[in-house]
Structure 1
Amino acid sequence: MSLISLEQYSEKQNRAINRVLDTLDRLDARTSAHYSEKRAHERKNFRGLVWLSIPDGTQEFDQAMTKVWSRSISQSGLSFIYPMRIYETQIRVGVPVGADQVTWFRAEIVRQKEVEEEHFWEYGVRFLGKVIA
C-alpha cells in the first residue's frame, strides 16, 4: 500500500482534521459509559502525531511510513484517523515517548469506521507487543 504523508494532504483534508477529531470525540462521549466497563484499560485523550507503518507486500514495514493524527490512547491500543482505507490488519505504530524518541509497537487493526462527510477513516488498533530492534 502506498501511504500518503501529512504534507500531501489537500487543503480541504487539513481543514477537516479537527472537525473529524471533534466529531469522533462527541460520538465517544455519548457511548463512553456503555463501553468503558468493557475496556481492559482506561483510554486517555491524545491528540498528537504518531507514526504508521504498513507492510509493502513483502512484509517489510520500514518501506512505507507516515505520520497520522491520533485521538486516544491506552495501554492496549490507540485510535487514529487517516484519509484512506487501510486493508491490511497487521501494522506497526510508533508512539512518541520523548522529544526525539519513538517506541514502536506491532499492532492489529480491530476497528475501522468511515467518517463519510469528511472523507476520513478512523482506526482502532490493539497493541500486540513492542518491536525489538
Structure 2
Amino acid sequence: MTGAVVELDHADWARFQKVLDRLIDARPRDLLEQLVGGVEQQTRKRIADTKEAPSGAPWPKWSPGYAKTRHAGQSLLQGEGDLLDSITGETHDEHGEVGSNLIYAPTQNYGDPDRGIPARRYLGVSRENLYALESLTEHWAEALLQ
C-alpha cells in the first residue's frame, strides 16, 4: 500500500487476541445473574417508590370504594408487602426471568377488566432501566479487561 499507512504487526495482534480470549472465556452466566439482579432491583423500586409502569405512566389510583378498605400506610400494590417480597429472579442457561409466584401477581400486572381491576404494570424494563443494564454490562466487560 502506498501513501500514509499504519501497520499492525504480530505483537499488536497478539495483544488484541488476549483481550478477545478473555471475553470469550468470560462466564456470561455471571453477567446474566447481574442483569437479572438489576431487573429485580428495578422492579422492587417500581413497586415501593415510583408507582409507575415501565413506560413511565403512573399507575391508576384505587377506586374510591376500595380506597376506604385500605389501612393507613398502605399504598398501591403494597398492602402487607407480600408482592414486593415475592419478586425474585432466576437465571437459566441462556435467559433470565424476574417475577412473582403469588397467585394474584398476574392480576396486578395485567389487570382484570371483568373484576374492575386496572393493570398496574410493575414488570418490564423502562428506557432508563435499559441504560442502567447497559452500564452494568460495560462495567462487567471492563473488569474482565483489567
Which gives a bigger RCO, structure 1 or 2 (Cα 8 Å, sep 6+)?
Answer: 2
Q: Please confirm whether the aligned pair reaches a TM-score higher than 0.5, indicating the same fold.
A: no
TM-score by length of 1: 0.30
TM-score by length of 2: 0.28
Q: Which of these two proteins has the greater Rg computed from alpha carbons?
A: 2
Decide which structure has greater strand share.
1
Decide which structure has greater helix share.
2
